């Protein structure tokens, strides 16, 4: 496994790409309302990337081995869709909980980030799951520093999710990112402290836990992309792109609209 360590020039480019990805989420936020279709949200994001930012949507025509080309500019995953929801005719309604996942390419560098949205007033469960998943991402981020192990990140996420009675999706993980979309290392969202490779200054990777209200089992739809919970329970995900710094971490996917880091209790509840 070869992990690219980024130099200062790479890091400067990754800050730009990360901010742009986050700004697409800022832009789309006021459009996430009951009555809009996910296809319309995708079209707006795509136009913003092309016409305002001069960025390329990385998902469009993305084709990992064994997959058909991904047909849209964004992933929009509603309710029991865990990830890779393909935007289309689906109309949002009050109470829907959805993830919008944006990956842009700028000057050859990739920025990857996602946020959750709740349409109108969500159920207590939806609000709790979305908040807990946000805390899970941040508990993972807080582990990042040189000398920490990958398993420390996974463990912090898993422990917090399972303490609330939720489950961690195992089939998808965070990933190294830079001038490649999905690179080594894989960032598992579960694990044991002290296991896995040691983090080093200059690594850049995503942390993007997918947390289910019910069981962790998944099923993939016939479109070969859309992944849902097998038990049809609600699923949530948040994602940031993270740089390992000399003393800790830097979140690269930040913009004015980025939700603030939550207050995290010292002891895991």
Is there a contact between 88 and 38 (Cβ–Cβ < 8 Å)?
Answer: yes
- Residues in 96-135 that interact with Co ion by CB under 5 A: 101, 112
Tell the smallest beta-carbon distance from residue 124 to Co ion (Å): 27
- Cβ 237 vs Cβ 37: under 8 Å: no
Instruction: Supply the angle between the helices 8-28 and 38-47 in degrees, to the nearest 10.
Output: 130
- Residue 241 binds to ligand MF3 (criterion: CB under 6 A): no
Q: Does the footprint of ligand MF3 cover residue 101 (CB under 6 A)?
A: yes
Q: Which is nearer to ligand MF3, 97 or 187 (CB)?
A: 187
Helix (H) or strand (E) holding 235: strand 235-237
Using a 10 angstrom Cβ sphere, with 0-12 exposed, 13-18 middle and 19 or more buried, the burial of residue 60 is middle
Q: Is 125 helix (H, G, I), strand (E, B) or coil?
A: helix
If one asks whether residue 112 binds ligand MF3 (CB under 6 A), the answer comes out as: yes
Angstrom distance (rounded) from CA 48 to CA 80: 28
Residues 6+ apart with CB under 8 A from 268: 139, 156, 159, 160, 163
Among residues 96, 135, 152, 208, which is the contact residue for ligand MF3, using CB under 6 A?
208
Task: Please name the residues in contact with 124: beta carbons below 8 A apart, sequence gap of 6 or more.
Answer: none
Beta partners for residue 112, in sequence order = 103
Compute and round to an integer the Cα radius of gyration of the chain: 17
Q: Which is nearer to ligand MF3, 180 or 265 (CB)?
A: 180
Nearer to Co ion, 80 or 101 (CB): 101
Q: Does 42 bind ligand MF3 (CB under 6 A)?
A: no
By a kind-dependent CB cut-off of 5 to 8 A, residue 122 interacts, out of Co ion, ligand MF3, none, with: none
According to the annotation, is 208 in a ligand binding site?
Answer: yes
Tell me how far, at minimum, the Cβ of 155 lies from ligand MF3, in Å: 21
Binders of ligand MF3: how many residues, by CB under 6 A? 12
Binding mask 123-162 for ligand MF3 (x = CB under 6 A): ----------------------------------------
Is 152 marked as a binding-site residue? no
Q: Please report whether residue 206 would count as binding Co ion according to CB under 5 A.
A: yes
Provide the 8-state DSSP code for 30. Answer: G
CB-nearest residue to ligand MF3 = 59
DSSP β-bridge partners for residue 4: none
Q: Is 155 annotated as a binding residue?
A: no
Q: Which residues bind ligand MF3 (CB under 6 A)?
A: 59, 62, 70, 75, 84, 101, 103, 112, 206, 208, 225, 239
Q: Which residues bind Co ion (CB under 5 A)?
A: 101, 112, 206, 239
């Amino acid at each position: 496994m070869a992990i690219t360590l980024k130099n200062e020039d790479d890091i400067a480019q990754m800050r730009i790409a990360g901010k742009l990805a986050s700004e697409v989420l800022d832009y789309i936020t006021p459009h996430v309302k009951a009555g809009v279709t996910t296809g319309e949200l995708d079209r707006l994001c795509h136009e913003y990337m092309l016409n305002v930012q001069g960025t390329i949507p990385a998902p469009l025509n993305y084709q990992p081995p064994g997959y058909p080309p991904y047909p849209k500019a964004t992933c929009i995953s509603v309710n029991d869709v865990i990830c890779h929801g393909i935007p289309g005719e689906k109309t949002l309604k009050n109470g829907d909980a959805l993830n919008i996942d944006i990956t842009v390419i700028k000057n050859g560098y990739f920025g990857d980030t996602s946020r959750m949205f709740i349409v109108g007033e969500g159920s207590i469960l939806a609000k709790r799951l979305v908040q807990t998943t946000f805390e899970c991402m941040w508990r993972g981020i807080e582990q990042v520093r040189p000398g920490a192990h990958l398993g420390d990140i996974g463990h912090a996420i898993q422990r917090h999710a399972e303490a609330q009675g939720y489950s961690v999706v195992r089939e998808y993980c965070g990933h190294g990112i830079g001038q490649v979309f999905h690179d080594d290392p894989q960032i598992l969202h579960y694990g044991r402290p002290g296991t896995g490779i040691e983090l080093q200054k200059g690594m850049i990777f995503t942390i993007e836990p997918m947390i289910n209200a019910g069981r962790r089992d998944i099923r993939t739809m016939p479109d070969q992309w859309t992944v849902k919970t097998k038990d049809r329970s609600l699923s949530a995900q948040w994602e940031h792109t993270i740089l390992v710094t000399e003393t800790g971490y830097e979140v690269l996917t930040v913009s004015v609209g980025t939700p603030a880091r939550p207050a995290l209790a010292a002891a895991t509840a």
